[in-house]
Amino acid sequence: METELKHIVIAVMGVTGAGKSHFVQRATGADVEIGHSQASCTHEVANFDLIMPPYHVHLVDTPGFDDSFKNDAEILDGIAEFLRQVHDQRGKLSGILYLHQITDARMRGSALKNLTMFQKLMGTRALTNCVLVTTKWGNVDKAVGQAREEELLQDARFGWKNMVANRAQVARFENTSESAIRIIQSVACLRECVPKLTEELCYDKKKLKDTAAGRVVIDTLKEQLADKQAEIELTKQQQAQALHEKDTEYAKQMQEQRAVLEAEMKRVREGQVLMEQRVEEMRRTSEARALEIRAAEKERRKHSTKRTVGRWVGGILGTAAIVVTGGVAAPLVLGAAAVAEGVYHEEKVDDRNKLDRLHAAA
């Protein structure tokens, strides 16, 4: 009899260029777009399946908070929606893998920002299910890589030391499928965790902007808005000076640069609006999904009970028929039981597939 696999969710996070999509590709064999520049390839939260008995792993690739095409509010919104969906489906995260490229001589500003956001998203309790994964060991001298790894673990400024003290694991991704699977296995068997952002949104009923991660994004957006405004004012002054000096070519360049900055500032403002409004829509949608899924689960349990009772009664009647006929009816009864068992299994699988499709649609 086929054993039903346990569905677990493992998220992959980290800065753009750390190798998240490459890790997912190595683990699952899926056709994942992999970037080879500073521009990000993962713009949306994306799920990839990995069958690893006794588990059906849902490996979730997430964009970094330094995305080339989205602001931090949009990234946080996507991750919050993903966590809410996991919660609505009565699931929890089995693990979170945070990837960092060992080729970085220093932890850049974007890497520090991503790490800060990661800590705000996870909180302290969920760190037990986190693995801090260093990548790209093949692109650096081993001794240099080991020295950088030691610095990450010992220098309190980088946050790894505190996370390891709170039971986070550390691992090296060696660019092979076997290495990726080992890292996944290290968290697959753990008791599922509830990230801090899930607690804040689903249990404390906070708005996204009022969560620990949301407050960091709000502050970042304010800083970005002030910076963009200052740059726009500077280009205005430079354009006016160029026009005064009849340098039309430079004035045109400043006009084009100003248009780009104004478009970027518009995106920042849209992010601020998103932090205020999107969470209410998310809450209404998730409540509707939860009701639909619970109704489907209730119907599946009802069908399962009926089938179980039918099998029990059929077994009793079949045994009685064999006894009464002195065993003559045994082949017929066993054949009928095999057919019934096949129908039972097909109906059970069909019900499970219907519920899985509903979860996938959510």
- Cα separations in angstroms, 357 against 89, 311, 353, 360: 12, 27, 6, 5
pLDDT of 160 strictly over 60: yes
Provide the mean pLDDT of the chain.
82
What is the tens place of the pLDDT at every residue in 276-301?
776 556 556 556 655 665 676 677 67
What superfamily does domain 6-203 belong to in CATH? Answer: P-loop containing nucleotide triphosphate hydrolases (3.40.50.300)
Tell me the longest C-alpha to C-alpha distance in the chain: 113
Report the DSSP pairing between strands 55-61 and 46-52: antiparallel
Return the exposure string of 95-133: e unless at least 16 CB atoms fall within 10 Å of the residue's CB, then b: bbbbbbbbbbeebeeebebbbebbbbbbbeebbbbbbbb
Domain ranges within the chain, ordered by starting residue: 6-203, 292-361
The token pair that represents 11 in the structure block: 């998220």
pLDDT of 146 strictly over 60: yes
pLDDT of 316 strictly over 80: no
What is the tens place of the pLDDT at every residue in 53-86?
999 999 999 998 877 678 889 999 999 999 999 9
